[in-house]
Homo-oligomer: A and B are copies of this chain.
Amino acid sequence: MPELRKDPVVGRWVIIATERARRPSDFVAEPVRPRASACAFCEGHESQTPPEILAGRPSDGRPNGPGWTYRVVPNKFPALRIEGELEPSGEGLFDRMNGVGAHEVVIETPQHGAWLAGLSVDAVADVLFAFRERMLDLKKDPRFAYVLVFKNHGEAAGASLEHPHSQLIATPIIPIMVSEELAGSAQYYDMKERCVWCDMVRQERRGRARLVIESRDFVALEPFAPRFPFETWILPVRHRAAFEESTEEELRGAAAILGEILRRVNQALGEPPFNFMLHTAPFREAQLESFHWHLEVIPKLTAVAGFEWGSGFFINPVPPEDAAEALRAGTIRS
């Protein structure tokens, strides 16, 4: 019998189509492989990107030259523009404002053919440090309410460049999906005086059926009502609303779990395209008792079609308990 399950935060129901259930091997996607060998994001090609905003330069090299471990540069084709004021205005029923924001690229490694799943814990931690640094800096700009950190890996997941990179977009308003999570979290807090995410982490660590891996400070789990097969969330065990307030030690812990999850996804699903998205508290609400930052990893395995676009209901053919079992079986890379 298929099952309807409700996300406890946003109230979104999904259909776990158990009768369409498939084994992980049925989902092996075209593996993501670099086709080119060099690009504008490669070491030695620094002049082909806009000047860097931040970089890891262990040997104190000059900005915009070689010798870096990661670089943050403005997106050359930004979705939003850094200059200008919002100038909100109306047109009868409708509301608009200027598309002011920041759009930056985090080049995760100098090597074109590397990937985040293959980097050392230190190198993944550097990428997370870069996210934190950029968030702390963008937070000073009073025009911005939020920054969304995300990664598109592989063409099918929307990546237009294959060199390993992630992105940040700072927006003048809080994105609607984050608002919905905040509203659901606040409603739960009003009722229970507890963080729904903390409760979820506790229940899943106790039940274990949807738990993939855990460390002292982090868990990776398959959510109860996942939109997508093998959707995996990484959350801090203790209450933390704002990613950018993480300590270096916490970020190293997050990096270890993230690298491990990406390797297990690769092993279980044949190096599929994927996205990840970081949900953190809005800039002006870093101390929220009701919200808890988390990273959502979604392998790109199924098509989104008319039913999903029309209803917001997702049909997921893999129960999260089965996905967790398959990901737990992955061997740990030493």
Residues on the B chain within 8 Å of A11, using CB = 176
CA of A2 to CA of B171 in the docked complex: distance in angstroms? 12
Known: A93-B203, A175-B312, A176-B11. A307 touches B150 (CB 8 A): yes
Which chain A residues (294-319) contact chain B, with CB distance < 8 Å? 296, 298, 303-307, 309-313, 315
A263-288 vs B, Cβ < 8 Å mask (1 yes, 0 no) = 00000000000011111000000000
A249 contacts partner chain B, Cβ-Cβ < 8 Å: no
- Of B2, B98, B279, the contact of A4 (CB 8 Å cutoff): B98
Q: Which of A14-22, A25-33, A52-60, A109-117 contacts its partner?
A: A14-22
Known A-B contacts A17-B79, A171-B313, A310-B296; the reply to A3 vs B98 at CB < 8 A is yes
Provide the bound-state CA to CA distance between A151 and B1, in Å: 25
C-alpha gap A111/B216 in the complex (Å): 61
Contact A8 B203 (CB under 8 A): no
Q: Do residues B99 and A15 form an inter-chain contact, with CB atoms below 8 A?
A: yes
Contacts of A151 in B (CB 8 A): 306
Is residue A80 contacting chain B, with contact meaning CB distance below 8 A?
Answer: yes
- B81 in contact with A5 (CB, 8 Å): no
| Interface pair B96/A4, CB less than 8 Å apart | yes
Interface size for chain A: under 10, 10 to 19, 20 to 34, or 35 or more residues?
35 or more
- Known A-B contacts A11-B176, A99-B2, A173-B4; the reply to A307 vs B148 at CB < 8 A is yes
A96 to B150, CA, bound (A): 30
A84 at the interface (CB under 8 A from B): yes
Task: Report A69-103 CB contacts with B as 1/0, cut-off 8 Å.
Answer: 00000000111110010000001111111110000
A-B contact pairs, 9 of them (CB 8 A): A1-B81, A5-B95, A93-B196, A148-B310, A151-B306, A169-B311, A175-B311, A176-B313, A277-B311
Is the pair A172, B4 in contact by a Cβ cutoff of 8 Å? Answer: yes
| A242, CB-defined interface residue at 8 Å | no
- Number of this chain's copies in the assembly equals 2
> In whole angstroms, what is the CA distance A313 to B310 when docked?
16
- From residue A39, how far is it (CB to closest CB) to chain B in Å? 19
User: What string of 1s and 0s marks CB contacts (under 8 Å) between A239-250 and chain B?
Assistant: 000000000000
Interface status of A6 (Cβ within 8 A of chain B) = yes
The answer to whether B173 touches A13, judged by C-beta atoms less than 8 angstroms apart, is: yes
State which residues 109-153 of A face B: CB under 8 Å: 148, 150-152
The answer to whether B152 and A306 touch across the interface, beta carbons within 8 angstroms, is yes
Q: Taking the complex as formed, is A290 at the interface, i.e. its CB lies under 8 A from any CB of chain B?
A: no
**In the bound complex, do residue B158 and residue A303 qualify as a contact, i.e. CB atoms below 8 Å apart?**
yes
| Known contacts A99-B3, A99-B15; A310/B94 CB under 8 A | no
| B79 and A307 contact, CB distance less than 8 A | yes
| B171 pairs with A309, CB closer than 8 A | no
User: What residues on B are CB-neighbors of A19 within 8 Å?
Assistant: 77, 81
Contact, CB under 8 Å: A306 / B275: yes
Contact B93 A8 (CB under 8 A): yes
Residue A225 at the chain B interface, CB threshold 8 Å: yes
A306 proximity list for chain B (CB < 8 A): 150-152, 157-158, 167, 275-277
Q: How far is the CB of A208 from chain B (nearest CB, A)?
A: 13
